[in-house]
Amino acid sequence: MRFPEDTINNMAQYLPQGADSPAQTEDEAQGEYSVEELALAANTTVRNIRAYQDRGVLPPPALRGRKGIYNNQHLSRLRLIANLLERGYTLSSIRELLAAMEQGIGLNELLGIESAINSPWGNEAPIVIPMTQMVKMFGTKLTPSAIKKASDLDLFSINGAQLRVTSMNTLKTAEELCKTGIPLEELLEILVVMRGNVQSVADSFVKLVAQHVLEPYGEQPLPPKEEFPQIAELVWRLRPLAQIVVDAELGRAMDHAANRFLADKLESILKQLPEE
């Protein structure tokens, strides 16, 4: 079966995790999960994971005693499977597509570039907390409209009396800001604006990688086998560089904002202080 070139090329945006990239740390390569933890991280179910293994699209776990241990290769592969299923592919066609990509290319090379592109770009895994913990964090500021807005932003999803939180760091930051008197809903409105701007920057950055790293191969469905490690290494190097640039630009913007909005207020307060 020959798959469309656009399908093979688009897979490069979503490919699973391997330990081969020279710039990868050991922790990034291994990232151990139980099957339940893997299902949570990939936003899927244990039943799906078992089915994917049975159909040959997900490698089996390593065994430690009688317990199966999964790693970031499995997490990336699950994300790839989810993307292809959303595009209308069946598990059988996904298995054939993976086999087609691996023809003439060692599995290590394939997983190395999959890992570089599709490994989580953040270092925060989702966690599950009880709803009571969220109420304790925000108190009366946790209004029904705030809950809906936070859920729409995918900060968490509700499952009965529990929440699957995608970024606990974000919630803890919001908690600290709310303690200063800032309304939760206004913080969420800022996050809405921030999401739009950050997504635009991320899209532009990733397009640079696609245009200058992958497009030069033109009509070839895949880069030459010997160039896979170099491409994977380049993508791994771009990850921290993107974060550094974003942090630096945010710091610059905060400096300007503080000078514009807070300097006059501080000067007014100082003028009201009694002279000694």
Give the model confidence (pLDDT) of 51-107 as tens digits: 999 998 999 999 998 899 999 889 988 988 888 888 777 888 788 777 756 665 555
What is d(CA 273, CA 170) in angstroms, rounded to the nearest whole number?
A: 37
Residues 227 and 186 in one domain: no
Residues 149 and 236 in one domain: no
Q: pLDDT above 70 covers what percent of the chain?
A: 74
**Overall domain count for the chain:** 2
Does 94 reside within a domain?
A: yes
DSSP 225: G
Task: With beta carbons less than 8 A apart as the criterion, state whether 76 and 119 touch.
Answer: yes
Does 210 reside within a domain?
A: no
Residues 93 and 179 in one domain: no
In SS3 terms, 79-120 reads as HHHHHHHHCCCCHHHHHHHHHHHHCCCCHHHHHHHHHHHHCC
Residues 70 and 25 in one domain: yes
Residues 84 and 14 in one domain: yes
Does 269 reside within a domain?
A: no
Which residue is listed with tokens 């292809």?
84
Residues 235 and 187 in one domain: no
pLDDT at position 1 is 38
Residues 119 and 37 in one domain: yes
Does 103 reside within a domain?
A: yes
Residues 95 and 16 in one domain: yes
Can you read off the two tokens belonging to residue 98? 């993976």
Residues 17 and 78 in one domain: yes
Give the model confidence (pLDDT) of 247-260 as tens digits: 888 888 888 887 87
Does 271 reside within a domain?
A: no
- Predicted confidence (pLDDT) at residue 187 exceeds the cutoff of 90: yes
pLDDT at position 221 is 52
Q: What is the CATH number of the domain that holds 227?
A: 1.10.1660.10
pLDDT at position 126 is 87
Residues 6+ apart with CB under 8 A from 92: 55
Sign of the Cα pseudo-torsion (17, 79, 123, 67, in order): negative
Does 256 reside within a domain?
A: no
pTM: 0.51
Residues 73 and 196 in one domain: no
Domain extent, residue 227, equals 5-123+223-243
pLDDT at position 4 is 47
Residues 112 and 50 in one domain: yes
Give the model confidence (pLDDT) of 206-237 as tens digits: 787 777 766 666 555 556 667 777 777 877 87
Does 274 reside within a domain?
A: no
Which residue is listed with tokens 């990232």?
31
* pLDDT band, residue 176 (cuts 50/70/90): very high
What's the mean per-residue pLDDT of the chain? 78
Sign of the Cα pseudo-torsion (59, 64, 66, 71, in order): negative
Does 52 reside within a domain?
A: yes
Residues 30 and 149 in one domain: no
